[in-house]
């Protein structure tokens, strides 16, 4: 017998056991992550589950996000599921399908589309997602094996080694921080980067201030002459994975010192020295499409994988119209 669950019906102990036993578990489907989402004033988190014969078999945890004025908010409403769904390794197809249909039903009026951003291999589940109306979209990622220090330094490119050395010789200091003023300096760098280059909305400062105070949250910053010139915000999943969530450097004044390279290297070294199995870059763009960020990440010597994404459009009219509306409003 199947039972579909709302957030308040999910047993915390069973949820934690599912995290421990699932082959596709990530930080982003843990109770800790959901609690983090609920602590943020600007996100609208959601949590649903499915049980079969009294046993928890699946969890979907994510958030609805929108930005801008009322019109832009309406057309930018989207449900993001970082990491993909948390599934029991023995979940039945009918149980997974029931959870996906429930997800669509619950979010139909809340978001124009639903996007599952997979950080593990969901290929065996792909037919059921597609049957439920979730289109597969190819998307790459870069993952570094951090269980072997020698292997990492053998695979990192000569260019990156040279840049790391140059940064150190110039006097760049990289450290982990929880200081509010340093978090704000890093955030101001990200704001410029997202506005000028990435051209996507950035979470509020509140996100970073609360992330670094999580037991699993980390912020590594690069400083030069007492000024923050770059940083990388990470989150960990036990000792299995250290995820790069946000990274950026001051390119206007200090690009020649390679701050983004320095902090990325520092985070990878932290993963190596603290016994993590992997360092996950959390995305490297679409295949067969030139993407400078992917080239940057690949030069650290990791493996490029394609776990893809699943996309379900709740309202096709608003989805197509929304792209043009947001593009128009963004100009102003």
- Phi and psi (nearest 5°) for 227? -115, 135
What's the farthest any 2 CA atoms get from each other in the chain?
Answer: 64
Query: What does pTM read for this prediction?
Result: 0.93
pLDDT, tens digit, for every residue of 178-202? Answer: 999 999 999 999 999 998 888 888 9
User: Are the C-beta atoms of residues 258 and 215 closer than 8 Å to each other?
Assistant: no
Of 272, 199, 171, 190, whose CA–CA distance to 233 is shortest?
Answer: 190
Per DSSP, the three-state class of 107 is: helix
| Beta-sheet pairing, 217-224 with 227-237 | antiparallel
Does position 89 have pLDDT exceeding 70, yes or no?
yes
Angle subtended by helix axes 158-170 and 259-273, to nearest 10: 100
- The residue with greater pLDDT, 67 or 47, is 47
Compute the half-sphere exposure of residue 212: CA atoms within 13 Å on the CB side of its CA: 22
User: Are the C-beta atoms of residues 161 and 154 closer than 8 Å to each other?
Assistant: no
Does position 331 have pLDDT exceeding 60, yes or no?
no
pLDDT-derived band at 172 (thresholds 50, 70, 90) equals: very high
Percent of the chain with pLDDT over 90: 84
223 Cβ contact partners less than 8 Å away, ≥ 6 residues apart: 172, 173, 174, 175, 229
- Phi and psi (nearest 5°) for 110? -95, -25
pLDDT, tens digit, for every residue of 273-318? Answer: 999 999 999 999 999 888 889 999 999 999 999 999 999 997 665 5
pLDDT, tens digit, for every residue of 140-153? Answer: 999 999 999 998 99
* Lowest-pLDDT range of 48-57, 211-220, 223-232, 316-325: 316-325
CA distance 48 to 10: 8
pLDDT, tens digit, for every residue of 259-278? Answer: 999 999 999 999 999 999 99
What domains does the chain contain, in order, with CATH numbers? 2-139+308-330 (3.40.630.30), 142-306 (3.40.630.30)
**Average pLDDT of the segment spanning 89-106:** 97
- The residue with greater pLDDT, 213 or 288, is 213
**Average pLDDT of the segment spanning 57-64:** 97
pLDDT-derived band at 330 (thresholds 50, 70, 90) equals: low
Give just the sign of the alpha carbon dihedral 27, 29, 32, 37.
positive
CA distance 19 to 301: 29
């Amino acid at each position: 017998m199947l039972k579909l669950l709302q957030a308040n019906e999910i047993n915390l102990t069973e949820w934690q056991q599912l995290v421990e036993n699932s082959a596709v578990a990530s930080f982003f489907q843990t109770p800790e992550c959901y609690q983090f989402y609920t602590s943020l004033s600007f996100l609208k988190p959601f949590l649903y589950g499915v049980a079969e014969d009294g046993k928890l078999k699946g969890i979907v945890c994510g958030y609805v996000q929108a930005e801008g004025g009322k019109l832009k908010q309406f057309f930018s409403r989207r449900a993001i599921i970082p990491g993909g769904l948390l599934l029991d390794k023995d979940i039945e197809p009918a149980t997974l399908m029931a959870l996906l249909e429930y997800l669509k039903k619950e979010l139909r009026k809340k978001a124009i589309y639903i996007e599952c951003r997979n950080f593990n291999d969901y290929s065996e589940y792909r037919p059921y997602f597609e049957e439920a109306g979730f289109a597969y979209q190819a998307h790459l990622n870069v993952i570094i094996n951090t269980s072997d220090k020698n292997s990492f330094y053998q695979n990192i490119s000569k260019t990156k080694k040279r840049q790391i050395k140059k940064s150190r010789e110039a006097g760049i200091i990289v450290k982990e921080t929880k200081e509010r003023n340093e978090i704000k300096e890093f955030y101001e760098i990200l704001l410029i980067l997202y506005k000028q280059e990435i051209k996507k909305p950035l979470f509020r400062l509140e996100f970073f201030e609360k992330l670094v105070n999580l037991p699993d949250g980390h912020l590594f910053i690069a400083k030069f002459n007492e000024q923050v010139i770059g940083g990388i915000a990470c989150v960990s999943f036990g000792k299995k994975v250290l995820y790069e969530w946000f990274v950026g450097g001051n390119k206007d004044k200090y690009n020649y010192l390679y701050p983004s390279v320095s902090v990325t290297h520092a985070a990878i070294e932290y993963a190596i020295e603290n016994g993590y199995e992997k360092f996950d870059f959390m995305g490297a763009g679409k295949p067969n499409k030139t993407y400078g960020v992917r080239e940057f990440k690949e030069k650290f010597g990791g493996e490029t994988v394609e776990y893809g994404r699943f996309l379900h459009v709740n309202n096709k009219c608003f989805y197509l119209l929304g792209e043009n509306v947001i593009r128009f409003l963004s100009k102003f």
